[in-house]
Amino acid sequence: MDNDYLVKSVAENGQFRAYAVNATALVEEAHQIHDTWSAASAALGRAMVGTLLLATSGLQGEAGMTVKIQGDGPTGFIVVDGTAQGTVKAYMQNPHVNLPLNDKGKIDVAGAVGKSGTLSVTKMAPGDKTPYTGEVNLVSGELGDDFTYYLAQSEQIPSAVGLSVFVQSDDHIEVAGGFLIQVLPGASDEAISHLEETLRDLPLVSDLLRDGKSPEQILEKIFAGRELKILEKVAVEYKCDCSKDRFETALSSLSKKDLQEMIDQDHGAEAVCRFCGHKYHFTEDELKLLVAKK
């Protein structure tokens, strides 16, 4: 069985909602698609893990969300789409970013993303003509802190988010994962203090995953000796839903003049999906049909 999955739970008799995910294979797939270098891999991987945790905890049914991180670092913008079903797809402006390790000897994600900028989350439900967007300023560029800040500011949910990606020397992803703990109304001060203490001493998620720990075992470590009830296990994957029809819709929104230029100069068009790299070719005749509909 694929090790990529997310676990949903409640802890300490309903005082906390807790999620943990192993997303190693899907972050590796993103690395393969976008040819990311180490610092970019870690940044993109953390953004995808954060989006997975947000989407599976905060969306229902067919709803989806887009997370956009726009920092002032060399990776430029990062865009991630996530769904309630545990699928995710992503791309970034500059995947070829490699930086010296930070002062803790780790990949410098904050240096790659930048410490100044914004994190925005747009939620879309099917048939909803006015999607909701919440935006916060980046607080560290490490992304775990930034997702935590977003939940506190934009959704008024006190939370703790841990995101971690371990990149091998050949740029492949050894492990990637994370956790999200949400404080529910009625949680006691004692329970919150105990959780804060535990999280302060918790090893990096990547270290736990490298030690062979499962998402369930990560949550058991966080709530050691305290009540934890696993509710659901959700398979997670990198999944792009692009299609030729979607690109045709995009092309048909172009002006008659632009379409005619493609016919005259290029005798066709090629569209490339930014999320998965798939190429769709449109012949001269297909473009002429679009012009005829104008």
CATH code assigned at 258: 3.90.1280.10
**pLDDT tens per residue, range 79-122:** 999 999 999 999 999 999 999 999 988 999 999 999 999 999 99
Handedness of CA 3, 7, 12, 16 (dihedral sign): positive
**Beta carbons of 282 and 271 less than 8 angstroms apart:** yes
Whether residues 123 and 169 fall in one domain: yes
Amino acid of residue 277: G
Question: Looking at residue 2, what is its pLDDT?
Answer: 67
Which domain does 256 fall in, by range? 244-292
Same domain, 134 and 249: no
Give the pLDDT confidence score for residue 151 in this predicted structure.
Answer: 96
CA distance 68 to 43: 12
Same domain, 32 and 119: yes
Share of the chain above pLDDT 70, in %: 99
Q: How confident is the model at residue 1 (pLDDT cuts 50, 70, 90)?
A: very low
Query: Does residue 176 sit in the same domain as residue 264?
Result: no
Are 144 and 172 found together in one domain?
yes
What is the amino acid identity at position 275?
F
pLDDT score, position 85: 94
**256 and 229 part of one domain:** no
> In what helix (H) or strand (E) does residue 8 lie, and over which residues does it extend?
strand 5-11
Distance CA 167, CA 236 (A): 20
Tokens 């994600």 correspond to what residue? 109
pTM for the model stands at 0.93
What H or E segment, with its residue span, contains residue 61?
Answer: none
What is the CATH classification number for the domain harbouring 77? 3.55.30.10
User: Is there a contact between 258 and 215 (Cβ–Cβ < 8 Å)?
Assistant: no
pLDDT of residue 139 exceeding 60, the answer is yes
Q: Please provide the distance, in angstroms rounded to a whole number, between the alpha carbons at the two ends of the chain.
A: 50
The residues near 290 (Cβ < 8 Å, ≥ 6 apart) are 248, 251, 252, 259
Residues 190 and 261 in one domain: no
Beta bridge partners of 66: 81, 122
Tokens of 12: 């300490």
- pLDDT tens string 176-232: 999 999 999 999 999 999 999 999 999 999 999 999 999 999 999 999 989 999 999
Name the phi and psi angles at 207, rounded to 5.
-65, -40
| Domain tally, the chain | 2
Lowest mean pLDDT among 33-37, 122-126, 185-189, 235-239: 122-126
- What are the φ/ψ torsions at residue 167 (nearest 5 degrees)? -105, 130
Query: Do 143 and 284 belong to one domain?
Result: no
Q: Which pLDDT value is given to residue 130?
A: 81
Is residue 224 classed exposed, middle or buried when 0-12, 13-18 and 19+ CB atoms within 10 A define those classes?
exposed
CA nearest to 20, candidates 294, 283, 236 = 236
Helix extents (H) in the chain: 24-34, 38-58, 109-113, 144-154, 189-201, 205-210, 215-222, 244-252, 256-261, 284-292
Which residue, among 94, 140, 147, has the nearest Cα to 117 in the 3D structure? 140
Rounded to the nearest integer, the mean pLDDT of the chain is: 94
Residues in contact with 123: Cβ distance below 8 Å, sequence separation at least 6, in sequence order: 58, 59, 63, 64, 65, 131, 132, 133
Reported as a single tens digit per residue, the pLDDT across 45-91 is 999 999 999 999 988 888 899 999 999 999 999 999 999 999 999 99
Q: Look-up: residue for tokens 């509710």?
A: 231
Q: What percentage of the chain's residues is helix, strand, coil (to nearest 5)?
A: 35, 30, 35
* 258 lies in the same domain as 147: no
What integer pLDDT is reported at residue 62 of this predicted model?
85
Residues 258, 139 share a domain = no
Given a cut of 80, is residue 123 above it in pLDDT?
Answer: yes
**Same structural domain for residues 268 and 134?**
no
Please indicate whether residue 3 or residue 182 has the higher confidence score (pLDDT): 182
Q: Do residue 152 and residue 98 come from a single domain? A: yes
